Amino acid sequence: MPGAILTFIRFTDRINYWIGRFAMYLIFVLVGVLLWSSISKTFFLPTIWTLETAQFVMVAYYVLGGPYSIQLGSNVRMDLFYGGWSPRTKAWIDAVTVLFLMFYLGVLFYGAIGSTAYSLGYFGNEPVSFFWDLFLAFVTGGTTAAAEVTGYIERSSTAWRPQMWPVKSIMSVGVFLMLLQALAEFFKDIGRLRGEEF
């Protein structure tokens, strides 16, 4: 297998390993938020931020941990026939089905980028050019110039009304990392078909 592909596989595996290891500890943050929610509702005045914060932490836990789950092979799989197949047959099936996953993740990533741009006040049809303009404004003029590029910042419709761009940005990053991991798994399957070990 070419060295560039092996470098890509190692880099993607390493990044998703460390992000996944970080993300798995978010479950303790989630438990802490929900515990505080229960305590505050029982003994004090109920807080308005706990439910939405728990949802945001769960989103980060799920989408940042997803690529690590794919890397470990611990994602949910229909194992009616798969378990009895030879490693070569599994590699063939995985190499074909991961293409469907990559198409799905590509569509999901494009939607996540558009949703993130919308949360930053962009209502047009070209979210990638919006982020490029935002990046150039930040590099040339700092946060003040970047703030001029953004429009009306989307907020949740709840009483707490947090800004939505942080969680949507995490979703975009998580889906992108999952897409990279799926591509790395595709290359690994091709390597296994050629007799290489990973």
pLDDT of residue 135: 93
The pLDDT value recorded for residue 31 is: 96
Q: Which of 89-93, 109-113, 177-181 has the lowest mean pLDDT?
A: 89-93
Phi, psi at 163, each rounded to 5°: -70, 145
Angle, helices 50-72/3-24, rounded to nearest 10 degrees: 140
pLDDT in tens, 104-146: 999 999 999 999 999 999 998 999 999 999 999 999 999 899 8
Assess contact for 193 and 4: CB atoms under 8 A: no
Q: Please state the pTM of the whole predicted model.
A: 0.89
> pLDDT at position 85, please?
86
Which sequence spans correspond to the domains of the chain? 3-193
pLDDT tens per residue, range 13-71: 999 999 999 999 999 999 999 999 999 988 988 888 999 999 999 999 999 999 999 99
